[in-house]
Amino acid sequence: MKMLTTIIVDDEPNHLIGLDKHISWSKLGYKRPMLAEDAQEALQIAKEQHIDVLIADVCMPGIDGIELVNRIRGIYPDIYVLIISGHEEFEFARGAVEAGAQAYLLKPLKIDEVEHWLKVFYDETMTRLKLIESEQVMKKKFRENLVMARARFMEELLSGFELNPEKIKNQLQCLDLPEDNFIYRIAIISLDNYEFIKNKDPVYASDIMLRLSNAVRVVFSSFFCIILRIHANHLTVLLLKEQNYEYLGRDEIDRLLMLLRKSLYNDKGILLSISVSKQSDRWEHACFLYRNAFNVLTKGRTYGEGNTFWTDDFHEINKIDMENVDFFRESIAACIKQIDAKQLNNLIEMMFNFLAGEKNMTVSFVQSISLEIVSNVQQLSEVTGFTLPVPYINMCQMVLNSTSINDLREKMKDVIVKYIISLEEFQNKKKSQTMEVIVDYIGKNLRNGVTVNELADVVYMNPSYLSVLFKKEMGETITEYINRVRIDKAKKMLQQVNFKIYDIAQELGYQNPSYFAFQFKKSTGYTPAEYRRVVNHKSTTR
């Protein structure tokens, strides 16, 4: 239990002693009060010791109680104040209120009144402290969650799963990351003898990686960093600078990497192999920068351990670049199969940007990739039965007749992406038609107790897929929809007195009238009989 501190200031010693003696300080959550016979003494004590509550006489020689409150609030803005006065004059009370006193009591004091205000002050203080503590906990959790959310976002970027510029922009805003006016590199820092250390002492290996992570934060404190441990034996680090940095040069990074190496080697004898990517000012490049850096690190290790490799030094089209080409080919094929026009458009744009940026890239190489995309679209056309806007042979000829990478880019976007957009719209329309069939079937077969499996058979779909599709299209599950249709129909039938409740239950597919009554009341708040009385009463009183 937190004990609050109080100071009593009164130029009459008897009043000081009386309050000190007769108040149940400990019971109320207070330490024994500090006593002062004038304001100067009180201010001196306030400078030396923390004070939560001030009890002061309004009339004292020298500095009066009102002025004391004003001065002491300069030291403790949140202090609680109880002013004591032997005067009923309005001016004294107003002065106390203006000075920020929470209470104003007249002499002779009543102990229960003083204790009442002390309890109020204590309760409010505890509430305020709990709120502050709660806010601090929330801020800490927010910071921790923000760090984790940024790490997850970075993992998605590096994996290539998140390439949609619009989604990236939304996430950047949510995670308080820069959208422009920044530049970054990606560094992969690998522990060379990790497997040996891990086999010898797994706990020590884990501790070393934690030390490495902490060392990176300290050494690169002048950068904005996101640190990931994608693989057991290395850290992936985003090194970002804002505020009009046009070039993230090697000199500064090399100097800091040397510090990092020395700290780990001198402390634990650890050797690090490091790969640093090219620089970029676009988040969607992160995946390719990471893949290049990883492959350069793998290749560079054949020259020995403990080195730093810069992907700026690798210009030729080789296996390293083909890793990114393969990534695009696989991702685009998946988008075509999933009929995702928006993502396909983004990927084609990014792939051609990547290919156009490679110094030794040839048009014939890009044509071969484009022909593969055309082939994937042709296969999709055969599966869906949705006719291509241009015959397959003509599409291939279009690719082969292209004279530049930019020309290929425009033709691929014009034909391939437009086709996928049309197919996507066709599929959505087809889904809507499926929902119409389902809704019509439910309406005509309520009496028979419609099931999801039965509906799936009607539209030749997997029951699980149908359930997901229905929820997406209709905004509610199949069961929720059937229940709602039943209740709506029951309301209409109950308005007609010639329908018995038992017959209504059977008509709507309820085998048990009691269960029908239960579902009806759950939905409307009335039993069927109550609902009938209410609606019939309303109709007769019109």
| Statement: residue 317 has pLDDT above 60 | no
DSSP code of residue 62: S
| Separation of alpha carbons 46 and 24, rounded Å | 23
Tell me the pLDDT tens digit for each residue of 224-277. 999 999 888 899 999 999 866 666 778 889 889 988 888 887 666 678 889 999
CATH number of 6-130: 3.40.50.2300
| Separation of alpha carbons 86 and 106, rounded Å | 6
Low-confidence winner among 18-32, 89-103, 334-348 (lowest mean pLDDT)? 89-103
CA-closest candidate to residue 22, choices 101, 113, 104: 113
Residue 8 has a pLDDT of 93
| Separation of alpha carbons 238 and 258, rounded Å | 18
* Residue 360: pLDDT band with limits 50, 70, 90: low
Mean pLDDT of 281-310: 82
CA-closest candidate to residue 486, choices 458, 522, 447, 525: 447
| Statement: residue 490 has pLDDT above 70 | yes
Backbone φ and ψ for 257, nearest 5 degrees, come out as: -65, -35
| Statement: residue 541 has pLDDT above 60 | no
Residue 162 has a pLDDT of 56
Cβ burial 506-542 (10 Å sphere, 16+ → b, else e): ebbebeebeebbebbeeebebebeebbeeeeeeeeee
| Separation of alpha carbons 450 and 434, rounded Å | 16
Looking at per-residue pLDDT, the higher value among 97 and 356 belongs to 356
What is the pTM for the complete model shown?
Answer: 0.46
% residues pLDDT > 90 (the chain): 17
Looking at per-residue pLDDT, the higher value among 121 and 461 belongs to 121
CA distances, 188 to each of 284, 296, 319 (Å): 18, 10, 19
Partnered with residue 482 across adjacent β-strands are none
Residue 540 has a pLDDT of 54
Partnered with residue 308 across adjacent β-strands are 274
């928006």: which residue's tokens?
A: 342
* Residue 31: pLDDT band with limits 50, 70, 90: very high
Backbone φ and ψ for 74, nearest 5 degrees, come out as: -65, -25
| Statement: residue 427 has pLDDT above 60 | yes
Partnered with residue 231 across adjacent β-strands are 234
CA-closest candidate to residue 333, choices 420, 422, 423, 404: 420
Q: Kindly list the domain boundaries of the chain, sorted by start residue.
A: 6-130, 178-314, 320-427, 445-540
* Residue 89: pLDDT band with limits 50, 70, 90: low
| Statement: residue 314 has pLDDT above 60 | yes
Looking at per-residue pLDDT, the higher value among 90 and 276 belongs to 276
| Statement: residue 66 has pLDDT above 60 | yes
Tell me the pLDDT tens digit for each residue of 367-411. 878 888 888 888 877 776 777 777 878 888 888 888 888 888 888
DSSP secondary structure letters along 386-455: ---SS-HHHHHHHHHH--SHHHHHHHHIIIIIHHHHHHHHHHHHHHHHHHHHHHHHHHH-GGG---HHHH
Looking at per-residue pLDDT, the higher value among 90 and 35 belongs to 35
Which own/partner pairs from 390-395 qualify as long-range (CB within 8 Å, at least 24 positions apart)?
A: 390/415
| Statement: residue 333 has pLDDT above 80 | yes
| Separation of alpha carbons 187 and 210, rounded Å | 17
* Residues 28, 119 contacting (CB under 8 angstroms): yes
245: buried, middle or exposed (CB in 10 Å: 19+, 13-18, 0-12)?
Answer: middle
Residue 88 has a pLDDT of 63
Residue 155 has a pLDDT of 87
Mean pLDDT of 471-492: 86
Q: Which two tokens stand for residue 229?
A: 């441990």
Tell me if residue 478 falls in helix, strand or coil.
helix
Residue 65 has a pLDDT of 85
Strands (E), 15-85: 34-36, 53-57, 80-85
* Residue 362: pLDDT band with limits 50, 70, 90: confident
| Statement: residue 321 has pLDDT above 70 | no
Per CATH, the homologous superfamily of domain 178-314 is: Reverse transcriptase/Diguanylate cyclase domain (3.30.70.270)
% residues pLDDT > 70 (the chain): 91
Tell me the pLDDT tens digit for each residue of 442-478. 888 888 888 888 888 888 878 887 887 788 778 889 8
Mean pLDDT of 495-507: 85
* Residues 234, 189 contacting (CB under 8 angstroms): yes
* Residues 276, 185 contacting (CB under 8 angstroms): yes
CATH number of 445-540: 1.10.10.60
How does the average pLDDT of the chain come out, rounded?
83
Mean pLDDT of 315-324: 53
| Statement: residue 318 has pLDDT above 50 | no
Name the amino acid, one letter, at 163.
L
* Residue 109: pLDDT band with limits 50, 70, 90: confident
Low-confidence winner among 85-99, 131-145, 245-259 (lowest mean pLDDT)? 85-99
| Statement: residue 319 has pLDDT above 50 | no
